[in-house]
Amino acid sequence: MTLQKSSEEFFTEFSENSAPRPLFRVANIEKRYGQRIGCTGVNFDLYPGEVMGIVGESGSGKSTLLNCLAGHLEPDQGEVLFDTRDAGLVDTVTMAEPERRMLSRTDWAFVHQHARDGLRMSVSAGGNVGERLMAVGARHYGQIRDEAIDWLGRVEINETRIDDRPSAFSGGMQQRLQIARNLVTGPRLVFMDEPTGGLDVSVQARLLDLLRGLVRQMGLSAIIVTHDLAVVRLLADRLMVMKDGHVVETGLTDQVLDDPQHAYTQLLVSSVLQV
Amino acid sequence: MNDYNFAYLDEQTKRMIRRAILKGLAIPGYQVPFASREMPMPFGWGTGGVQVSAATLTPEDVFKVIDQGADDTTNAVSIRKFFQATAGVDTTEETDKATVIQTRHRIPEAALNEDQILVYQVPIPEPLRFLEPRETETRKMHSLEEYGLMHVKLYEDIARHGAIATAYAYPVKVEGRYVMDPSPIPKFDNPKMTMPAIQLFGAGREQRIYALPPYTEVVSLDFEDYPFEASKADHSCELCGADDSYLDEVIVDDQGGRIFVCSDTAYCASRQTALQDAAAAQHEEISA
Amino acid sequence: MYVAVKGGERAIDNAHAWLGEERRGDHDVSELSVAQIRKQLSLAVNRVMAEGSLYDPDLAALAIKQARGDMIEAIFLIRAYRTTLPRFAGSEPIATEKMACDRRISATFKDVPGGQILGPTFDYTHRLLDFKLAAEGGLTDAPEGDAQPGDVPHVLSFLDGEGLIQQEKQGAETPPDLTREPMELPANRPLRLQSLARGDEGFLLSLAYSTQRGYARNHAFVGELRIGDVPVEVDIPELGFAIEIGDITVTECETVNQFTGSKTEPAHFTRGYGLVFGMSERKAISMALVDRALRWEELGEDNLGAAAQDEEFVLSHCDNIQATGFLEHIKLPHYVDFQSELELVRKLRRDTMAGAGNTHAQEAAE
């Protein structure tokens, strides 16, 4: 061992010995569209089992941020570190595309607002759930099918629908199917973009209930973007409030919602209370 | 046709094609783009195979052409005539006498050897094409080895039909890396693809060449509990009695009567000759 | 005993002999000469040269004769011949402002320097069958005028002077050659234009038409359409300068397209470009519209999901020689494939029927 240790090594050693290592670390992310700021100066750590909510109005930069984090957009600067199984914390922005794609079909999952963006509409429900399993090498039809049936059950879809195409499903069912398709490989980090958006209120409630159950049972780590404070109240441990591309307030969910400090957060919370 | 260069194409073009072939052999199963030329036969009628054969043939080669397994189908005849005229090479119908065999839709029944080259005509080289029509996307899927979708298709087949409903152009994985279209050969032929001969695939219209060096591992995609099955009609050949060869079904009368005969005409003929010789020998014995 | 069908070779020879006879037709009618085709069916000759990518009116006329008037077959003959030609040199870019115009019109300006020349056009003819032609009469002499001396500036250059039209990218790099290198997608504009220039007239016409009907509408005006002869010059390294090796007739179309600006660009006019061998103005205009539609990304426009905006779709399907070959190959024998499908369908039907039997049995048991 050399005498000179990089600060990073110290840090790693230190954190391994005395504190849990973050699963996901976001450092100084910025994304611009020409002169316009998408999001800027975003920093946070996410620890295993934690659910982070990102709230703000449309245009606040929360979806841009989520897409930068999930590797769908390349940020102009900053790091998005993920605690990989092989090499510990690795910057996924500079990671080679094959590795990043591998991550996004194994340890990561992404639930789109519109189920049809996250499903293969011409493939049966079973095939949709099975795809990720097959992508990582599952080659036993019976086992894939059993797993699909199990997951359909967990998201409250009757197993008799396994060979139906999602186009024959209601909006709520499509969204639940998308969730099953994403969670089937036991991802370590789930990104969700307005998972309840576009659904009827009663359908939303059922979906939220289901998500809460899954998050608790599986100890999921997740980052949820939404404009709906009810969603984060139910699901998120911590909150980040965004406005005009900047993070204006962060904290524990209850703390932020019950005692908002920033004027904008106060406005957000009060507008919810009026509803 | 002596105004044309040996085997029609000019030497520069042949060199370009040979480079693509060598690259293909170096990366088995990878589709190498090449500047396919306009040939005097239509795209889709074997221009890829013809260009690969033209770049492969030497004056000493003995050339065989089959289409649907047969030497005397119209397009096989046409391509054989083309090379007789432009290259003046010897041609044969006997599989073991040929050094270069161009084929459409079949692999000969007789085992090939290390001194032979099998050239396939390929209509659509991209095994993912009917799952994803965009070339830009499929090339990315290959480079990132994203083949999950291929198995989704097989899964859907079983879910819907109870079996994998692909009977020809059955996709294979080459040396554990590239998923490859074996060209529209019946799946009966897939297991033969791990062989001592060099296999070259030419797709003229789609401008792709790919290749399998001798003894390359070629595995047909399947599921553990729905294994790949190299099936054929459950009959034996009406003419030579073979029960191990791929059969064509022939309708013989308007009552729906049908018989089955070898699709590989050279194989069938050689078996018939052997049977006749044996019968003659027996006859001599008896009369002696 | 069954004997397999043989004699493919004889069948082919006989078929081709018959074809030759049909091509000649009734011997009481005098044979068509290549010169007649070249001189009297010149627009057909032009199309064969354009889509065959070979400027040779005599060969194109011969191809039309050999193909019995089937244009795609004639284009095919020219393409196959073209492949065998050695390439001696590449020409300098043709300078269309030096064109000796037979026709030159602008839809955007009433009058332009150099004037509007209607030329030998079908426009404004009343489409009434002319029975005088059937009687092989009616030779008319057109009145003659004096040719305009000097260069004919491009109409769009006047807009350029005002900075109202998009600047085209200048580059020293050699454009890729579609006939020598495999098509790589995404393509750049030179490659796109090459592909469109030899693309099928009917396909481009329909695509261009679809943009006019709202599938990626781009508000095109014909800024200028010109047809005429331009000199072709080839640089001779030994001489150190370019010499003229002959004239070719080309049709050039530049469209002016409305563009209201995007995130990155202020409002200005944009253009589409078409250049085709011979007198082929329908093709040149179509090409310009499709070229413009394909430029959505470079201009920061929205992808509306229209066929004419989809580069991969357009370039992969515009070549009629590729298209016709692949389309017609399905008449080749496919009985090996079909046999394997037959067996599969029979097996699936057997399984389904057996399965149905089981379900019935199960239901009865329950």
CA-CA distance, A88 to A106, in Å (whole number)? 16
Identify from B137, B142, B146, B155 which residue to disrupt to test chain A contact, counting A C-beta atoms within 10 A and taking the largest count.
B155
Q: Could you say which of A97, A130, A132 has the minimum Cβ distance to residue B155?
A: A130
Q: Using an 8 Å Cβ cutoff, are C288 and C253 in contact?
A: yes
ipTM associated with this complex: 0.83
- pLDDT of B203 reads 97
Q: Is A270 exposed, middle or buried (0-12, 13-18, 19+ CB in 10 A)?
A: exposed
Residue B145: closest C-alpha in chain A:
A98
Residue of C nearest to A34 (CA): C264
**Does C180 reach chain A within 8 Å, measured CB to CB?**
no
Which residues from chain A sit within 8 angstroms of residue B130, using beta carbons? none
B and C: number of Cβ contacts within 8 A: 149
The verdict on a CB contact (< 8 Å) between B74 and C8 is: yes
pLDDT band at B142 (very low <50, low <70, confident <90, very high): very high
| Yes or no, beta carbons of B159 and A101 under 8 Å apart | no
| B42 with C182: Cβ contact below 8 A | no
Residue B33: in which H helix or E strand, if any?
strand B32-33
Mutate to test the interface with B, among C9, C339, C345, C349 (most CBs of B within 10 A): C339
Model confidence at A269: pLDDT above 70 = yes
**Chain A residues 176-235 within an 8 A CB cutoff of chain C:** none
CA distance, residue B139 to nearest chain A CA (Å): 13
B248 close to C (CB below 8 A): yes
Secondary structure in 3-state letters for chain C: CCCCCCCHHHHHHHHHHHHHHHHHCCCCCCCCCHHHHHHHCHHHHHHHHHHHCCCCHHHHHHHHHHCCCCHHHHHHHHHHHHHCCCCCCCECCCCHHHCEEEEEECCCCCCCCCCCECCCCCCCCCCCCCHHHHCCCCCCCCCCCCCCCCCCCCCHHHHHHCCCECCCCCCCCCCCCCCCCCCCCCCCHHHHHHHHHCCCHHHHHHHHHHHHCCCCCCCEEEEEEEEEEEEEEEEECCCCEEEEEEEEEEEEEEEEECCCCCCCCCCCEEEEEEEEECCCHHHHHHHHHHHHHHCCCCCCCCCCCCHHHCHHHHHHHCCHHHHHHHHHHHHCCCHHHHHHHHHHHHHHHHHHHHHHHHHHHHHHHC
Contacts of B221 (CB under 8 A, 6+ apart): B150, B151, B154, B170, B171, B172, B173, B179, B228
Q: Which of residues 147-186 of B touch C (CB under 8 A)?
A: 161-163, 165, 167-169, 184-186
Least confidently predicted of A126-130, B61-65, B279-283, C105-109: B279-283
For residue C289, with 0-12 CB atoms within 10 Å meaning exposed, 13-18 middle and 19 or more buried, which class applies? buried
Residue A248: the pLDDT is 94
Residue B135: phi and psi, rounded to 5, are: -60, -40
pLDDT value at residue A3: 44
Would you state the pLDDT for residue A14? 46
C264 at the A interface (CB within 8 A)? yes
β partners of residue A123: none
Which is nearest to C321 in space by CA: C100, C72, C127?
Answer: C72
Please list every residue in chain A whose beta carbon sits closer than 8 Å to the beta carbon of residue B146.
Answer: 101, 105, 135
Please give the pLDDT value at position A19.
Answer: 65
Number of CB atoms found within 10 A of residue B255's CB? 7
Q: A160 — contact with chain C (CB < 8 Å)?
A: no
Average pLDDT over residues A224-241: 92
Residues within 8 A of C (CB atoms), A 51-90 only: none
Q: Annotated active-site positions of B, please?
A: 29, 237, 240, 262, 268
Residues from chain A that touch C263, judged by Cβ atoms under 8 A, are 33-34
Chain A contact probe: residue of C263, C265, C359 with most A CBs at under 10 A:
C263
Closest approach of A243 to chain C, Cα-based (Å): 22
* Rounded Cα distance, A122 and A251, in Å: 42
Residues of C in contact with A33 (CB under 8 A): 263
- A126 — contact with chain B (CB < 8 Å)? yes
Residues of A in contact with B226 (CB under 8 A): 141
Structure tokens at C20: 């030759």
pLDDT for residue A10 is more than 80:
no
Residue-level pLDDT at A144: 97
Cα(A11)–Cα(A26) distance, integer angstroms: 16
Using CB atoms, list chains with 3+ pairs below 8 Å to chain B: A, C
pLDDT digits (tens, 9 = 90+) for C9-26: 788 899 999 999 999 999
Residues A212 and A155: their CA atoms lie apart, in Å, by: 12
Give tens-digit pLDDT for B60-77: 999 999 999 999 888 899
Position A5 confidence tier, pLDDT thresholds 50, 70, 90: very low
In angstroms, rounded to a whole number, what is the distance separating the alpha carbons of residues A165 and B187?
A: 29
Q: Span B93-110, mean pLDDT?
A: 97
The whole-number average pLDDT for the span A55-59 is 88
Burial label for B254, CB within 10 Å (0-12, 13-18, 19+), is exposed
| Partners of residue C7 in chain B, C-beta under 8 Å | 72
B196 confidence band (pLDDT: 50, 70, 90):
very high
Helix (H) or strand (E) holding B19: helix B11-26
Contact A98 B149 (CB under 8 A): no
Find the mean pLDDT for residues A195-199: 84
- Count other C-beta atoms under 10 Å from residue C15's C-beta: 11
Q: Given an 8 Å threshold on Cβ–Cβ distance, is B123 in contact with C326?
A: yes
- Provide the shortest C-alpha distance from residue B221 to chain A (in Å): 9
Give percent of chain B above pLDDT 90: 80
The mean of the pLDDT values for chain A is 88
**At residue A22, does pLDDT exceed 70?**
yes
Which residues of chain B make contact with C79, given a CB cutoff of 8 A? 38
Q: Are C290 and C207 in contact (CB under 8 A)?
A: yes
User: What tens digit of pLDDT does each residue of B215-254 get?
Assistant: 999 999 999 999 999 988 889 999 999 999 999 999 888 8
Give the nearest chain C residue to B265 (CA atoms).
C4
Cis peptide bond prior to C86, omega within 30° of 0: no
Contact by Cβ (8 Å): A138, A130: yes
Q: Which 190-229 residues of chain C touch chain A by CB within 8 A?
A: none
Which CATH code fits A2-107+188-271?
A: 3.40.50.300
B165 CB neighbours in chain C (<8 A) are 344, 348
Q: Three-state SS string across chain A, please?
A: CCCCCCHHHHHHHHHHHHCCCCCEEEEEEEEEECCEEEEEEEEEEECCCCEEEEECCCCCCHHHHHHHHCCCCCCCEEEEEEEECCCEEEECCCCCHHHHHHHHHCCEEEECCCHHHHCCCCCCHHHHHHHHHHHCCCCCHHHHHHHHHHHHHHCCCCHHHCCCCHHHCCHHHHHHHHHHHHHCCCCCEEEEECCCCCCCHHHHHHHHHHHHHHHHHHCCCEEEEECCHHHHHHHCCEEEEEECCEEEEEEEHHHHHHCCCCHHHHHHHHHHHHC
Count of Cβ atoms closer than 10 Å to residue A263 Cβ: 11
H-helix or E-strand spanning residue B249: strand B247-251
Run of H or E including B143: helix B135-143
> What gap in Å lies between CA C95 and CA B240, rounded to an integer?
70
Min Cα–Cα distance to chain A from B170, Å = 17
- A183: which 2 tokens? 């969670």
Q: Does C359 touch chain A (CB under 8 A)?
A: no
**Predicted structure pTM score:** 0.84
First to last CA, chain C: 54
Q: How far apart are CA A80 and CA A94, in angstroms?
A: 9
Residue B74's φ and ψ, nearest 5 degrees, are: -55, -45
In this structure, the number of other CB atoms found within 10 A of the CB of residue A164 comes to 16
Interatomic CA distance for residues B129 and B179, integer angstroms: 12
Closest Cβ–Cβ partner in C2, C183, C355 for B207: C183
Amino acid letter, A178: Q
Testing the interface with B: which of A132, A134, A185 to mutate, by most B Cβ within 10 A? A134
The 3-state DSSP class for residue B260 equals strand
Nearest CB partner across the interface for B155, out of A97, A98, A144: A144
CATH 3.40.50.300 segments of chain A: 2-107+188-271
* Nearest CA-CA partner of B201 in B10, B47, B11, B43: B47
Neighboring chain A residues of B225 at a CB cutoff of 8 Å: 140-142
Whole-angstrom distance, CA of residue B171 vs CA of residue B154: 10
CB of A106 within 8 Å of any CB in chain B?
A: no
Question: Tens digits of per-residue pLDDT, C81-111?
Answer: 998 888 888 899 999 999 999 999 999 888 8
Pick from A166-170, B48-52, B160-164, C325-329: least confident: B160-164
How far CA B103 is from CA of B20, B240, B246, in Å, comes to 19, 22, 15
Dump pLDDT digits (tens) for A158-178: 999 999 999 999 999 999 999
- Locate the chain A residue with the closest alpha carbon to B159: A163
C261 to chain A: which residues are within 8 Å by CB?
none
CB contact under 8 A, B163 and C335: no
Place of tokens 């934690």: A50
Distances (CA, A) of A80 to A68, A88, A182, B170, C259: 8, 13, 21, 41, 39
pLDDT along chain C (366 residues), means of 10: 63 92 95 96 98 97 97 96 86 93 91 88 91 77 82 87 82 86 90 96 97 90 95 91 95 89 74 96 97 91 90 96 94 88 88 69 45
CB proximity C140 to A under 8 Å = no
